Structure formats: C-alpha cells, structure tokens
Structure 1
Amino acid sequence: MVRGSIGVKVSARQAEGFTDAPDPNVCAVLVYGPDSGLVNERALRLLQSRGVDLDDPFAAVTLRGDELSKDPGRLYDEATAISLGGGLRVVRAQGVSDSVAESMQFVFERSVENVFIVLEAGNLGPRSRLRRLFEEATLGAALPCYADDDVSRGRVIDGILRDAGREAELPALDYMAGRLGGDRGIARRELEKLLLYVIDEEGKITLEQTADCIGDESEHVLDDVATATCTGDMTELSRAYDRCVATGQTDISILRALYRHLQRLHETSIARDRGVDVAQAMSKLRPPVFFKDKAKFSAQVSKWTTVRLEDAMGIVLNAERLCKSTGMPGDLVSERALFQIASATRRR
C-alpha cells in the first residue's frame, strides 16, 4: 500500500486488509475490477466500517451509474450535503465510469468534511481518468478487485461455512473450489443455497449434497443477463454481459438463456391474466424460482404484459436467426436485442 503526497494505491494482495481496516484519513474509495461480486462485497464492508446506519435516508444515499451518467454533478451535490442528523454522511455510487471524474475532482479540491464516499466500478485500465484521480488524490484510495485465485477462493469458502457453523468433506470442498471461481457474489449466492439445502442434515457436507445444489458458474452469469434485461437495469446488464463474455459464453447461449427466462415470465403472465395469483403461478414453474429471486421475478412480471413478452420473445428469436444466417457480428446482434428489450421495460 503506497501513500505519500498522492492518494492510497492498494495492490490486489493488500485489498482485503485495507477493506477490513481502511485508512482513517481517506474520505473516498474507488472499488473497481472485473469481479463485480467482490466489488459489491468490499464496498459494503467499507461503508459498514464507518458505523453509519445505511438504511437511514438522512445519513446514507445510494446512487446508480445510469442516474449519474445523465447528471454527473449529482455526485458532488450528495457529497457536499449535510447529514440532517448531524455526524458522518455516507454516499455510495454503483456502476460508475469516468464520467464522474470531474465531480470527484471538485470533491477532492474542496476537501469536504463529514462524508465518506464509496464508488463501485467495473474493470478500469491504468489510463482511466477516474482510477488515476483516486490513486493521486490525497484523500482518496483505489481498491482493485480481481477474481479469487485457488488459495483465496478456499479461504472464502471456509469462512462462509465457518460463519454458518458448518464443515464440508474434502471432496466437497474441492468441488466447490472448482465450480465457484470468477465472481465472489455468485459464489456466496451458491453457498447460501447449499447451506439452505442441508439445513436439516447433520454432519459434514458431502460431495453428493454439494453436486446436487451447486451448478456451473456459466449458468448463473447467463441468468444474470436475463434478469437484468427483463428488469430494465442497464448498468447491471452491461456488467452481466461482460461477465458472460469473460466466461466464454456464446451469443447463441446468451440469447437462448434470455428466451427461456422470457418463457417463464410469459407462462406466469398468462396465468395472471386468467385470474391466478402471481405467487401461486410462480410456484408452478419448473425448475422453481429460487426463494431469494422471487421478489425480483414477481417485479418483472408486473412490468410486462403477455403481449409485450411475446414481442420480446420474437426479438430474441429474430436475433438468433440473424446470428446464424447472416454475416452480421453476433455480439452486435445479441447486444442490440438485449438492450432493445431492456429499454422496452423502462419505457412502460
């Protein structure tokens, strides 16, 4: 970790220690990298380290990247606002890019007090204006988040199991380590599912139980793209699509995963049109909707009509046809379809 007349530049190896004990002189941290789950996790831990109630709207605010892209100056406005309850105010901004660099420059130049700012971003190269700003600002710190290696992945798995009071057999641990790489958020979600699956079982978690519950990471990045598309969350869609590309998913597999998700929404929407309660209709889906995803899925159903879902399914089918039968670049075709559908969700 380097500090001088410039800001705090944290190496990937030092990132975990900085998250647990951030420099008290730092008022703003940029958490960035390709592992969005780890970015989110470390950002939350940094915010919690300041002892502020993150659910208190007078002391904490969360901004989204799509909001700031339209109004970058809002970041400065929130950073300089005074907490109505007195004391420290925390500002969290998710999915940011270089577009907020100028606002943060103003924050650093004015040395604002009683505020702690955490920005979350994707993979920023060394030439990124935002990254360079945080690495050079006296009151700033840049915190990289890269995919876990075998050793750190094992520590994460052990820690989650230990916190839940559970242990796993060695073959089960090896299986988890092999299947849960790439994104810390996905790994945690899968381990939570496993712990729920074995909640009534005694003894160490077995390989059989683990294999029954934990799938391949590729399934989850595809699900994330479909969910973000049908929610209309452009920022998360961009990140999820990048994760798909990073894990080697093809354009056809992305489109087909989205089509399957639209089919499930369509089936639920038809039942709703017939007077069936949405929760009851969802309970009939196979495979069932994971309990942590039920609220999101229900919210998606409320955003769509049956006719509009059929239109969206038609867009996906046409995109797959174009990928297969024309010389058009598949990535451009699939991205256009994804963002066209996501935009339709937001226009409702």
Structure 2
Amino acid sequence: MKAKAHEVRARLQKPPEDIRLYLLHGPDEAAANELADLLGRALGPETERVEFDGATLKTRPGVLADEAASMSLFGERRYIRVTAVGEESLEAFTLLLNADRAGNPVVAIAPTARNTAKIVKLAQGAPNAMAAPLYLPEGADAAKLAAGIARDHGIRLAPDAADTLARGCGSDRAIITREIEKLALYLDAAPDRPKEADAAMLAEISAVIDEGEFGGAIDALVAGDAAKLGEEMRTLIGAGTSPVPLLRQMGKRLIALADMRVQIEGGASADQVLARVFWKEKESTARALRRWDSAHLVRGLERVREAERAVMASGNAGPVVAEQAVVVLARAVARLR
C-alpha cells in the first residue's frame, strides 16, 4: 500500500503482524535510516537484526523470503534490513510478499527508486507491504528542520545560522544533528539551559561549508578525473572540512543522475530529461548520462555510502579513507568511457 512518512512511522513504532515489507524510497536516506531504526526499537533490545543489500538479493532472490520465515536459534524475534535496494530486488520482494508465511518483517531502503519503479509499484499494490517516498527538505523546510533539531538540544538558532547549517549539511538530518551536538557542547546548552547561536558562532566550531564549494570534487568524480579529484579532496580536507558532508553531496549527485537515467531508460529522450537541468550544467550532465548507466550509478552510490560508514567508524583516519575510496571510484568511472 502507498503511505506517507508519518503513516509508515506509526506502523514501524507499533509493527502489525500483517505487514511483511516496509519500502522506504527516495533521496532522503538519513530519514530512511532513522525510520528503519524504529522497527528494531519497537521489537525490543533482544531482537536479532539480519542485514542484506540489493546486490545480494539480485544473486540470491529467495534468501529474503527464507529469512523472513525462519526462526532464530534461541527463538528471539528478528527483523531484516536491506540497504542499497533497486530494481534488482524485484524478484526477491515478489517472493517475500507471495510466500506462504513470513513472521520476520523486512525494512528496505531504496534511495534511487522513484515512484514509477517496479519495486515501488509492487509494494504499493500489495496489502502486506507499505511504500513511503522520502524527499530531502529544501529551502525554508531545510532551515526549519535545522532549527527544530537545535531546539531539541537547547539552542535557538538565528535564521541565517539555520539556513547556513542546512545548506552546508546538504539538508541531511544526521549531519545536522552531529553539528548541533558539537555546538551544544561548545555553548554548554541543553533544553533546561537554552542558548542562542548565529552563523558567526556556528562557523567557529563547524566543519561544514557551503555545498557549492564541493562542486569541483563532485564534478571530478562524475567525470572520472581521479587526479583532479585527489587535488580537490586534499584541498577540502586540508582546510579542516569533514569528509562526511562531501560524501553525502556526492551521493546526492549520483541519486540525481540515477533518477535521470531511469527516465531515459524508461523511454524519455535525453533532451526532455536535460530540459530541467540548469543551463551551465547541461553539457557535463549529458556527458555523465552517456557514461553512467543505472547499474553503475547504484554501485557508485554503494561505494560512496561504504566510504561514509568507514569514515564515521571510530579508530580510523577518516579523511584518508574518504580520499582513497572516492579516487578509486573515479578511476573506475574513467574506465566506463
């Protein structure tokens, strides 16, 4: 069935027995991960989590239905989380929804899937599934999100600070939250002792920068120019910029390209798709669409997300990990020419 974000949130907080699949699709991957976490909390701390990705389901489509119907060794509840999902998972989802039984719910995150995707149509039309589109907030909505997160941490953000933070974090709530946490620590702020903050104060402690400054690195990645990308990465990281917002912006660009590739592969002409692209970016976008197909875009997004998770893990040299991962990806892109 088709659902809105607040509707699927309510179900994930109190999961009913009749829903086998929660499909969270669209570019707001941070919101999807937040919603997916609700299922584990609702089922309890003893619940076992089984993880797959779209690539696994493509080669082993029956494993999802098998795991959904299985029991853990000691009889605890379990649920299944699937990441980096695309059209390759259609058979696996079909088998899951048509299986005789499936007691373990599945939550799947599909950042590149549009409303017209086959997996989305499948979930929307099934009584035992829910599909919810998740879009990144923009403009005033993004600033409102940042202000709300800040308020929860005892900070009253000035309008310019909220807008700067939202743009610098790519409207990603996970990054916004981390930056707000740093700001709260810096100000010694809490809900019971609120403090005010403006853009100047944010700049003193924040590692985020305006997304426009990421443009060179992102363009180099999409073009497969490993040498230029290496230079851009070293410049940004040398300036003290966190690699996480950069990786998120790279992910957003790949998602946007994947969206356009799906339209082209669905029958739209390149001119029709490019008509909505800013004129200065049309030529480079056209080249990218000729170079990348949907499968490579999905894999590229997976690699960027893997790099992000590695950077965020403790005990590693985050900037070095990020630079190595994206430069390797750029070299792979160069071979697509």
Q: Same fold (TM over 0.5)?
A: yes
Query: Are positions 1:18 and 2:30 aligned together?
Result: no
CA contact (8 A) 1:29 1:119 kept: yes
Shift of 1:201: 2.4
Distance 1:103 1:292, change over 3 A: closer
What secondary structure is seen at the aligned counterpart in 2 of 1:61? strand
Which residue of the partner structure matches residue 125 of structure 1?
Answer: 114
List per-residue Cα deviations over 1:305-330 (Å, max 9, x = no partner).
xxxx9xx78x96xx7xxxxxxxxxxx
Could you tell me the TM-score, scaled by structure 2's length? 0.60
Shift of 1:73: 2.5
Which residue of the partner structure matches residue 44 of structure 2?
Answer: 51
Which residue of the partner structure matches residue 33 of structure 2?
Answer: 40
Query: Are positions 1:107 and 2:86 aligned together?
Result: no
Aligned residue identity for 2:174: R
List per-residue Cα deviations over 1:228-253 (Å, max 9, x = no partner).
xxxxxxxx9995651475998868xx
Count of matched residue positions in the alignment of Structure 1 and Structure 2: 253
Larger Rg, first or second structure (1 or 2): 1
Query: Are positions 1:209 and 2:201 aligned together?
Result: yes
State the Cα RMSD in Å: 4.2
Which residue of the partner structure matches residue 167 of structure 1?
Answer: 156
Distance 1:169 1:61, change over 3 A: same
Could you tell me the TM-score, scaled by structure 1's length? 0.58
CA contact (8 A) 1:88 1:116 kept: no
The 2-side partners of 1:98 and 1:195 are apart by 37
Which residue of the partner structure matches residue 242 of structure 1?
Answer: 254
Q: Say which of 8, 20, 25 aligns to 1:27.
A: 20
The 2-side partners of 1:38 and 1:134 are apart by 19
Shift of 1:29: 0.5
Aligned residue identity for 1:124: A
Distance 1:150 1:108, change over 3 A: same
CA contact (8 A) 1:64 1:93 kept: yes
What secondary structure is seen at the aligned counterpart in 2 of 1:173? helix
Q: Say which of 121, 131, 151 aligns to 1:142.
A: 131
What secondary structure is seen at the aligned counterpart in 2 of 1:40? helix
The 2-side partners of 1:237 and 1:75 are apart by 31
List per-residue Cα deviations over 1:261-281 (Å, max 9, x = no partner).
xxxxxxxxxxxxxxxxxxxxx
Distance 1:99 1:174, change over 3 A: closer
Aligned identity (percent) is 20
CA contact (8 A) 2:67 2:104 kept: no
Which residue of the partner structure matches residue 262 of structure 2?
Answer: none
Shift of 1:90: 0.2
The 2-side partners of 1:43 and 1:71 are apart by 23
The 2-side partners of 1:136 and 1:83 are apart by 30
The 1-side partners of 2:146 and 2:253 are apart by 26
List per-residue Cα deviations over 1:277-315 (Å, max 9, x = no partner).
xxxxxxxxxxxxx984664546976xx8xxxx9xx78x9
What secondary structure is seen at the aligned counterpart in 1 of 2:146? helix
Distance 1:85 1:151, change over 3 A: farther
Aligned residue identity for 1:65: G
Q: Which runs of 5+ in 2 are unaligned?
A: 189-194, 222-228, 231-247, 260-276, 289-309
The 2-side partners of 1:46 and 1:217 are apart by 32
Shift of 1:149: 3.7
Q: Which runs of 5+ in 1 are unaligned?
A: 1-7, 228-235, 255-289, 320-333, 341-348
